[in-house]
Amino acid sequence: MYRVLIAEDEDIIRKGIAYTMDWVSMGCTIIGEACNGKEGIEKIKELQPDIVLTDIMMPVVDGIEMIKQGQELGDFKAIIMTSYADFEYAKQAIELGVSAYLMKPVDEEELKKSIEKTITEIEKDRQLRQLTDKMKTADDIDTLFIKSEKDNDYVQRILMETKERYADKISIETFSEELGVSGSYLSRKFKEATGQTYLDFLNKYRIQKAVKLLETGTYKVYEVSEMTGFSDYKYFSTVFKKYTDSSPSDFVK
């Protein structure tokens, strides 16, 4: 169930929203109410809601400031209800990433649609976070710890070169030639130091970069494939799905 906090200084409106709407059918539960922005900030800190439904004009602290301060205390989506069609308020709401901006009196169907849209946004954020966490761990070059030994100097060099050249055509054989060391020796040392083969590491690192590029919404999937060192689009899709459980096109959707 998605946890909802309602911040509204008018009792009749707050109670009406809390107790007349079928929140359960929307997969939500009301976890708290606040009658001013200061109380709203305290409730956000204490209850950690998923969705905050708030008026703008409230005593002590207004809704915009409440959201601003609340975002430092919890991870939630906000829906604003207001009687004021003021451009400045709307602009501030956009800057704060508010999910919906509804004019009072709020239509119940419109509010339901806004809640559904907000839940979709929450799920997308969660999936993206899970995907990003999955792609991080010890596969991030900047956090990968390699025990300092003479033999591992080669591994450190490979890691740093991979960070710079991941978009190029590189392999353990590339470094074998450049370092004048046998490929089998480098492969063994790399596996000992990192717990994975170089190809596995390279693919994971490239997919990390691909996820970030796709996240921007700026590039087409085939462009990201080329930008991250995958000359073959089909292979890129196969590797992407292997590490993320999702195809690149599904991820973009």
| Contact yes or no for 156/170 (Cβ under 8 A) | no
C-alpha 153: how far from its chain's center? 35
Q: Are residues 117 and 148 in the same domain?
A: no
Q: Are residues 115 and 144 both part of a single domain?
A: no
pLDDT score at 138: 39
CA 186-188-193 angle, 5° bins: 95
Question: What average pLDDT does the segment 29-39 reach?
Answer: 97
What's the confidence (pLDDT) of residue 243? 84
Flag whether pLDDT at 49 surpasses 90.
yes
pLDDT in tens, 160-217: 899 899 999 999 999 999 999 999 999 998 988 888 899 999 998 999 899 889 888 8
Altogether, the residues listed in the chain come to a count of 253
Query: Which pLDDT does position 141 carry in this prediction?
Result: 60
Quote the pLDDT of residue 151. Answer: 54
Residue 132 in domain: no
As a whole-number percent, the residues of the chain with pLDDT over 90 amount to: 60
Which string of DSSP letters, residue by residue, matches 24-41?
GGGTEEEEEEESSHHHHH
Number of domains in the chain: 2
Query: Residues 10, 120: one domain?
Result: yes
Higher pLDDT, 142 or 77: 77
Distance (Å, whole) CA 30 – CA 4: 5
Kindly report, residue by residue over 112-160, the tens digit of the pLDDT: 999 999 999 898 888 777 766 665 543 456 555 555 555 578 888 899 8
Hey, what are 125's tokens? 């954020």
Q: What is the CATH number of the domain that holds 191?
A: 1.10.10.60
Phi, psi for 169 (deg, rounded to 5): -85, 95
